[in-house]
Each structure stands twice: as C-alpha cells, then as structure tokens.
Amino acid sequence: MYARGKIIRIYRNRKGEITSGIFLTESTQEDASTKLRVKGVLPDIVPGVHIWADIDDDGNIKKTKLLSNDVFYIKERLTKIKGISGKKADRIINECLKGEVKNYKKEEKKEEVLGLLKSNTKAAKETVKNTLAELAEIDDWICPYKKYGVSCESVEKLRISYSDNWREKILKDTYTAFMLMGLDFVAADYLFKGLHGSFLDEKRIKGIIHTVLHENEDKGSTAIDEKTFYSNCEWIVKNSAWPRSPVSPYIILAVLSQLQTVYTEDGYFGYVKTANYEKSIAWNVRRLMDADTEISADFTKEEEKFNKCQREFLHLFKKNSLTLLLGRGGTGKTYTISGAIKLMKKEKPDAVIKLCAPTARAAGVLKEASGEMSSTIHVLLGLKPYGDELVGNEIQADMLVVDEMSMVDTELFCALLKSIKAGTKVILAGDPNQLESVGHGSVLRDLIEAQVIPSVELKQIMRQAAGSKIIKNCEKILKGDANLDSDGKTFIIRRTITPEEMVMYLKSEYTPGLDNCQAISITKKGKAGTIAINKMFEKEESGLIAHGEKFCKDDKVVFTRNNYDDGYCNGDTG
C-alpha cells in the first residue's frame, strides 16, 4: 500500500535504532482509524515531515520518499521569466538537471541549459542562469536539513521576512523559522535537539505556545480556554523530540506571561493582534449600521419576480445599511442581489455600485450574473500580499456587495470594513454550509451567531426541480448521512468492484460534447484518476500539444491560475 502522510511518533531499540512508529495518513488526520502502527528499521526520517511510504500488509515500511514541491517551485520560478514556456522549463528541469537543481553546479549541465536557450534573448538567458545558480546554492545549504522538511520553496517564505539572514534564523531561532516556513513543530523540535538545544529552552516553550495558538486559529477559533490550551501543550510534548521530558504548566505560564503578542483574559488565551481585529470589526459593524441609508424606492411591481424569502431580504435591504444574505448554492442569492442593485438604481440612478469576492473566480461569476463590475477584495482595496498589515484604500461607493463571505478571514474582513465609508449600503452574501476561510477565524459563522446584522436565509433551491434527489441528497450530506438515494434520473448511484469496471461504465455513459457531460474523480493518479480518464476520452484526431498534453477542438479545459491581463481566473472552464 502506498500512503501519503507523516510519522507522528517513533520508538527505538536499545541500540538507538528506530524500530517502529505511528504513521498518520494525510486524508483525514483527525480520524483515529488512519493511524497505522509501522515497524522495521525505519529510514532516516523525522516525525512531522510529509512522506510517501510503501507499507506492506504486516505494517513494514519498505520504502519512503520525502514529499517536496521543489520541482514545481523551480518550474514556477522559470516560467515567470519572459520567453520561458512551461514546456521549456520542464525540459530544463528533467532533461538537463535530472530533476535536481543541485546539478546546475556542474559545468556540463550549465552548457546543456544554455543549449536549450539558443532561441531566447540574452536577458532571458542571464535571468535563467542567475535563478538556477541561486536555487542551486540554496539547495546545497539546506541539504542536511531536507529530512526536516526544509525545501527551496519553504525557504522562499523565510527570505521574504529575513532576506539574506534566513540561514541564521533556521539555526538560531528554529521554531519561529519553521513556523514561518509552514513546517511542523515536531520537525523543528528534532532539528533543535540535533543542534544540542535543551527541552526547557525558552525558545522551545515559545514554540509550543505558538503552535497551540496557531492550530486553534486554523480551526476557526480565535481564543482557546485554559484547560484545552494546557491539554494541547501536553499532547505536543508527548509527541515531540523529548516525549519523556514533560514541561510543567507553570513553566509554560511563566514564558507566556512575558509574551506581549499573547493575552490571557477570563480563562482564555489568544493573540493580541487577532483580538484587536475582532474589536475593530465589532466597532466598524456598529459604525456602518448606525448610518441612515433607508431608501424609499417602490418595487411593488417587481415583487412577484421574487419568492417570499427574497422579498423579505429586499425589504431589509431598503431599511438597513448592513445586511446578511445567506443561502446554499442555487437558492438565488445572486438573483436577489441583482434585485437589490435595481432598487438602488431606482432610488439613485447615478449610484456608484461595487461588487467584490475573495477569489477572482467568484468575482467573475458575480460580474456575469449581475452585469456590474466586480473584482477581488484585494484588488478593490489595493492590498499587497505579504504585507505586515492589511491597509486598504477607501472604497468610494454608494453600494457594496461582498460575495462568498465564508471564504473571508478575520484580518481581511477587518481591512475591508475599515475601508467602507459610513452611508454605504453593504450586502454580505454567503453560504453558511461552505468550507470556511483558509485564513484565521470563521467570520461568517460568527456574524450569524452574533445576530446583530439583519439577515435572511434563502432556502428554496431554484436550480433543480422540486423533489429532485440532488436536493435531498445534498441535505443528507450536510447532516452527515451517507445513505444517499437514487431515482435513476437526476441522481444515479452505480457501485463497481474494480477501477476497470468503473472506467468502462463511465465510457459507456459519456457523450462527447462541450456542455452535456463532465467526469470528476477524487484522485489524479491510478486507473480511475483524472489523468487516465482524460487519456481514455482523448480524440484520435490531431491537436495542439502544450505542456506535454494534447488538446483537441472542443476539449474542456480549466485554468489553474489567475491571468488578470487576459481576463482569465483560476477555476474558469471553457
């Protein structure tokens, strides 16, 4: 069995050899059933570092491989250079460097790369040369630390904050460096131990504290109660490089009390910065709600075009400066927003209306459905990534619509509210059942639970006919019920024993065409993965070869990154 995940605990024999461990698969890390007891003399791997493992039925790890995105990162760096296509970048990495950027230090490899760049400009050649030399130097330095998860890609995150001092940061402030690189505390702990650090070192205790607080925020909570905090600290220590050396809660509290970035209040711990974001959000919500923006425009003639819940929201919108529009996909949120825009224009024909969403894809959908200009929140506010603090430009608008609110994190929402002037009518729209933001906090959920902003939830699904099994099964999934129903028409369940049988069924049901059929798989690799399925459905006719793939007329494509110049967004299909 091939599994992707990480070792979370190791056991040693009397000789000091690693003889067994606990392997946690990556798919559902909170599920206890995914913890596997593995044995045998394990390779030189560090707990907390992501690996591919070949595990037999008896739990023996036969082979492992470090998971690294460096090949993709190098390709990304190369394709940013004018004149370097994805195909040429692949040839440089695979043919010349054999997948290892360290090989660029060899003179013959440098000549091979230059040979591939014959048709490129002098400037492009020089940039490629400097880029590969820089990456080769970084790769050479981090070589002893790769087993701890350090890679060229992770180092880039560190260089943004510390420039040329990133090496010193890894060695002298290991826990902070690993956190900035997005790496596991346990991996940092093993490196710190290897550097002859002490298990009671203040930097280590700070690392434990920050790990617990960050993990808590990643789950959507911005504060953690005292009992859970110390319990989580204890769990981290038990799975650390010093599992048999407990750290007293009094020592943790002593270090925590010196941290100016962390607060303790009423039995809760959290980051001061996040608490200030939340206070700012609360103050600005009240500031916007206190403004008198009631409109008198009559929409009696248009009321019949909307259902009961939609009409209820439009009446709320007329009276209030700030409103919440909730509903699952297909309940008509965008249609209702279009109605609110018409109301605003009826009241004030020259009203400045702006629409935004967290992602370019969502902003594009909003623009297409409403007919109004739309952008990402970052573009609207003029925000730059990796800034110390998000400070946006003032939004000059009479009406602002923010869609996909479930994806908005605490910091971004704080910056957005600060930028909205009093007197602007604001609609916050979103699906409370969607996945929460990647960043810290659960803004939409908190706004709903606070019950301060007037809100309406649309419940009637408009995309499917009443009684559709799609609607019924969606409701079941939301409740955690896996017993889905099939009606043989709108929702069909076909159970197969082997991947080959499943693929043959797909092929029998597939009808070529741009819009009438789409196959989706949960994996890229394997006989039932997207790569194999695409190959199976490929047309025999000649087509365009790009990035090593063949594209024929009427083939479906999906964009995987934003291109603002050409108007394409990540997730767009065509």
pLDDT given for residue 30 in this prediction: 40
pLDDT of residue 480: 81
Does residue 33 have a pLDDT over 50?
no
**What is residue 507's predicted lDDT score, i.e. its pLDDT?**
78
**CA distance linking residue 53 with residue 325, whole number of Å:** 46
Which phi and psi angles does 28 have, rounded to 5°? -135, 85
pLDDT tens-place string over residues 355-365: 999 888 788 88
Helix axes 499-509, 530-537, angle to 10 degrees: 40
**Could you tell me if 302 and 339 are in contact, meaning their C-beta atoms sit under 8 angstroms apart?**
yes
Contact 232, 247 (CB under 8 A): no
Q: What is the predicted pLDDT for the residue at 32? A: 39
pLDDT attached to residue 564: 58
Q: What is the pLDDT of residue 425?
A: 96
Average pLDDT for 448-457:
94
Q: Residue type for 426, please?
A: V
Question: What number of other Cβ atoms are within 10 A of residue 562's Cβ?
Answer: 18
Bigger pLDDT: 496 vs 227: 227
Q: What is the pLDDT of residues 309-352, one digit of tens each?
A: 999 999 999 999 999 999 987 788 988 999 999 999 999 999 99
The token duo for 271 is 């980051």
If phi > 0 it is left, if psi is from -120 to 50 it is alpha, else beta; for residue 149 that is left
For residue 31, pLDDT over 60 is answered with no
pTM: 0.75
Per-residue pLDDT tens over the stretch 181-220: 988 899 999 999 999 999 999 999 999 999 999 999 888 7
Q: How far from the centroid of its chain's Cα atoms is residue 458's Cα?
A: 27
**pLDDT tens track for 241-256:** 898 899 999 999 999 9
C-alpha distances in Å from residue 559, one per residue of 23, 29, 362, 364, 537: 35, 29, 14, 13, 19
What is the CB neighbour count within 10 angstroms for residue 134?
14
**pLDDT given at position 549:** 65
Q: What average pLDDT does the segment 395-410 reach?
A: 93
Segment among 1-10, 103-112, 446-455 with least mean pLDDT = 1-10
pLDDT value, residue 129: 93
Residue 58, Cβ density class (10 Å: 0-12 exposed, 13-18 middle, ≥19 buried) = exposed
Residue 118 three-state SS: coil
**The predicted structure's pLDDT at residue 487:** 78
Would you call 228 helix, strand, or coil by DSSP? helix
- pLDDT computed for residue 311 by the predictor: 92
Which pLDDT does position 29 carry in this prediction? 38
Residues of the chain above pLDDT 90, percent: 43
Question: CA 55, CA 403: separation in Å to the nearest integer?
Answer: 45
Rounded to whole angstroms, the Cα distance separating 75 from 153 reads: 11
pLDDT in tens, 468-492: 777 778 778 877 888 888 877 778 8
If one compares 463 and 332, the residue with the highest pLDDT of the two is 332
At residue 438, does pLDDT exceed 80? no
In the chain, pLDDT over 70 holds for what percent of residues? 87
Looking at residue 369, what is its pLDDT? 77
Q: Pick the residue with more confidence: 415 or 373?
A: 415
Across the chain, what does the average pLDDT equal? 84
Give the integer Cα–Cα distance in Å for 507 and 533: 9
